[in-house]
Amino acid sequence: METILKISNLTKNYYTTQALKGIDLEVERGKILGLLGPNGSGKTTLMKIIAGILKPTSGEVLIEGKNPGIYTKKIISYLPDVNPIYKWMRVKDAVNFFKDFYNDFDEEKAKSNLGFMELKENQKVSSLSKGMLERLLLTLYLSRNAKLYILDEPLGGVDPSARDKIIDTIIKNINEDSSIVISTHIISDIEKVFDEVVFISEGKIILKENAEELRAKKGKSIDEIFREVYANV
Ligand SMILES: Nc1ncnc2c1ncn2[C@@H]1O[C@H](COP(=O)(O)OP(=O)(O)OP(=O)(O)O)[C@@H](O)[C@H]1O
């Protein structure tokens, strides 16, 4: 199996806060990794470093063997935890914005995803609810033909009934050559898509396993194991 992402002894300090304390992690091509941890555990910091928008304090990140930079930004689709879409836009403007910005943006895929997400091209971005906006953003980022998708809390503001739609969209859009890292603390609905899971706590990885093997070993869902582990942290 080919490794697309390799992280070695990564640390990140913000002033006096040590947000990441020596992270070692590998993601293989075609795999989906669940990055699981409570608020403040370091998920967003790690994802921003992989995406190349934050510099590590020490350690190394390699994406297809290269440090984060111009090349890696071209092959990574990063769904951030903030909204990059201008309020004045309509859904179709946001699609055009992405089309202009990313060479790998697949307009046909976007149109099909918008339909599936029940978003209309003429809707104003400012009129979308928080959950609908998240659906739009996920649609846009998944409509890139990227090699690595980094999705920071894609289920954050979405009500339980809409979660399945988001999860189905993720499944529908991936191909065997692309990998995904998904951060979340809402695990029960999405755990079925994970190949590997990593539990992160206070900037350290406290558990790293194949999802299926972990479930079999403990006789429990990842969600149950997560609750147990974090009850004792
Ligand atoms: N810009 C910053 N300046 C100072 N400290 C920061 C900054 N960003 C994050 N931190 C701190 O770093 C730690 C990790 O934060 P991070 O946002 O990476 O966690 P997270 O797991 O993504 O949390 P959440 O689930 O709440 O988004 C926290 O202690 C946080 O307060």
- pLDDT tens digits, one per residue of 17-74: 999 999 999 999 999 999 999 999 999 999 999 999 999 999 999 999 999 999 999 9
Q: Looking at this predicted complex, what is its ipTM?
A: 0.97
Q: To test ligand 1's pocket by mutation, which of 17, 182, 204, 206 has the most ligand atoms within 8 angstroms of CB?
A: 17
Residue pair 144/77 in contact (Cβ under 8 Å)? The answer is yes
pLDDT tens for the 233 residues of the chain, in order: 799 999 999 999 999 999 999 999 999 999 999 999 999 999 999 999 999 999 999 999 999 999 999 999 999 999 988 888 888 999 999 999 999 999 999 999 999 999 988 899 999 999 998 888 988 999 999 999 999 999 999 887 788 878 888 888 888 888 888 999 999 988 988 999 999 999 999 999 999 999 999 999 999 999 999 999 888 66
CA-closest residue to ligand 1 atom 2 = 14
Evaluate: CB of 115 within 6 angstroms of ligand 1.
no
Ligand 1 center–CA 222 separation, angstroms: 24
Chain centroid offset of residue 73 CA: 15
Evaluate: CB of 190 within 6 angstroms of ligand 1.
no
Q: Print the domain residue range for 156.
A: 3-231
User: In the prediction, which pLDDT does 233 show?
Assistant: 67
Ligand 1 center–CA 75 separation, angstroms: 25
Indicate the number of domains in the chain: 1
CATH number of the CATH domain containing 79: 3.40.50.300
Evaluate: CB of 40 within 6 angstroms of ligand 1.
yes
